[in-house]
């Protein structure tokens, strides 16, 4: 058996594909896409000029908002400092009142001692005077 016997004679070879015609449609589409892209870029660049006023207004609004927030934060800080100062002042006044009470108590004790001493001296003076009157 030969190799030619393995293949039947009536087998035909496939037909060659039809010849391709060159089409330039792809290049036309790519060119149109490029032109549209260039027009879009030009539109975006020229349309931003009108938005400069909007950008400036937004910047000013942001700046004003930041200033308001800063002022509110400062007001809170000052309120907290005032509260701390008033608490310290109240504590100092309480301490001073306690010290004044101690001072008043000490003064009252000294006054009582002085009054007792004066009363004792008055008693001694009366006794001495009575002794002089009875013993001339």
| SS3 per-residue string spanning 78-123 | HHHHHHHHHHHHHHHHHHHHHHHHHHHHHHHHHHHHHHHHHHHHHH
Query: Can you tell me the distance from the alpha carbon of 132 to that of 136, in angstroms, rounded to the nearest whole number?
Result: 6
Query: Can you tell me the distance from the alpha carbon of 29 to that of 21, in angstroms, rounded to the nearest whole number?
Result: 18
Tell me which residues of the chain have a pLDDT lower than 70: 1-15, 18-21, 48-51, 130-136
Task: Dihedral sign for Cα 91, 96, 99, 101, please.
Answer: negative
pLDDT of residue 99: 78
The residue to which tokens 């509260």 are assigned: 83
């Amino acid at each position: 058996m030969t190799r030619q016997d393995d293949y039947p004679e009536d087998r035909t070879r496939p037909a060659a594909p039809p010849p391709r015609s060159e089409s330039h449609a792809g290049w036309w589409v790519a060119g149109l896409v490029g032109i549209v892209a260039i027009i879009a870029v030009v539109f975006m660049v020229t349309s931003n000029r009108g938005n400069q006023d909007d950008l400036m207004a937004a910047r000013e609004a942001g700046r004003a908002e930041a200033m308001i927030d800063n002022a509110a934060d400062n007001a809170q800080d000052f309120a907290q400092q005032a509260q701390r100062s008033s608490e310290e002042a109240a504590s100092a006044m309480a301490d001073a009142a306690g010290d004044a009470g101690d001072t008043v108590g000490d003064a009252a004790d000294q006054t009582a001692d002085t009054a007792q001493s004066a009363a004792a001296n008055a008693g001694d003076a009366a006794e001495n005077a009575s002794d002089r009157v009875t013993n001339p």
